[in-house]
Amino acid sequence: MPISRRGLFTALAAGVSLPAATRRAFPIGVTDWNLRLAANPEAVAVAARLGFEGVEVSLGHQLKDGRLPLDSPELMKRYISDAKRHHLRLAGTCLELLHTMPLKSEKGAVRYVSDAIRITKYLDAKVVLLPLFYKGSPDAESEQDYVGDALREIAPEAERAGIRLGLEDQLSARANARIMERSRSSAVQVYYDVGNSTRWNHDVLAELPWLGRDRICQMHFKEDPTDIRLGQGRIPFPEIIRTLEQMGYDKFANLETSSKTQPVDVFMAADLAYIRRLREGSS
């Protein structure tokens, strides 16, 4: 018997496992920088050949003539045409410029968040990852408030464009929630990276359900340390996949994996196969 909408939400809220026919498996994508093709549309064909469902696109590390490297009509059109030809989605973009122009301290950074929103909408990629690490990490509450205020300024633009701004950082889920609340916008969400959270000693299996499906825009899967195969480190991927299933998570999980010794095709294919087995085995 088909489950009703009310029954679906009731079951999810109670943590009850649902019949396989009612579940929506999350798509698996890959970061173009881990394909060693950052801001390069050739990443689309490589991701498709390896069997990924999407590719996350770097907007570039450094400005070129005052613009993000991907802020080129010709380059954006190439991404769109390649994605269409290879039947693959552009999962999102990453504003890597924030590594050197921290959002917590550089007033000019908001301009490039605006540019990232425009580019991401053109690509129909839905999510802009905002990296906030190391010298850019808003560790103090005053810094978190500053970031939240900066995002409150730009969030209406993201809302109009249908774009989510994803906080990826070394903070706890509660600190991220503080920034989201300060922004006063549902467009500001968490880009949850299980490797980063583990590295900074946050409890992934507790944080994911605490945040819930609606406060997570996308995820990264990688190990800690990052250059070993998924499932061979300390991150409990089987339990993570089951938790995501119980949450009803159906957004992209992008592999941000790497290897110092193996070719890209080898380790990426193995990591994809591992996550796909877990995803399908939990259904």
- In tens, the pLDDT along 78-120 reads 999 999 999 999 999 999 999 999 999 998 999 999 999 999 9
pTM: 0.90
Q: What is the DSSP letter of 232?
A: S
Q: Are 35 and 264 in contact (CB under 8 A)?
A: yes
Closest to 166 measured CA to CA, from 112, 127, 110: 127
Beta partners for 166?
A: 129, 189
**Does domain 23-275 bear CATH number 3.90.950.10?**
no
Question: What per-residue confidence (pLDDT) applies to 25?
Answer: 85
Whether pLDDT at 44 is above 80: yes
- 170 vs 20, 47, 100, 255, CA distance in Å? 35, 28, 16, 18
Question: Which has more pLDDT, 62 or 250?
Answer: 250
Q: What is the DSSP letter of 274?
A: H
Closest to 237 measured CA to CA, from 194, 280, 184, 266: 194
Taking the C-alpha atoms of residue 136 and residue 130, their distance in angstroms, rounded to an integer, is: 11
How does residue 10 score in pLDDT terms, banded at 50, 70 and 90?
A: very low
Question: What per-residue confidence (pLDDT) applies to 17?
Answer: 42
The mean of the pLDDT values for the chain is 92
CA neighbours closer than 13 Å in the CB half-sphere of residue 199: 16
Instruction: Give Cα 179 distance to the centre of its chain.
Output: 17
Encode pLDDT of 11-26 as tens digits. 434 444 444 434 568 9
Q: Are 18 and 247 in contact (CB under 8 A)?
A: no
Average pLDDT for residues 238-262, to the nearest whole number?
A: 96
Beta partners for 64?
A: 67
Encode pLDDT of 178-202 as tens digits. 999 999 999 999 999 999 999 999 9
Closest to 35 measured CA to CA, from 24, 46, 25, 27: 46
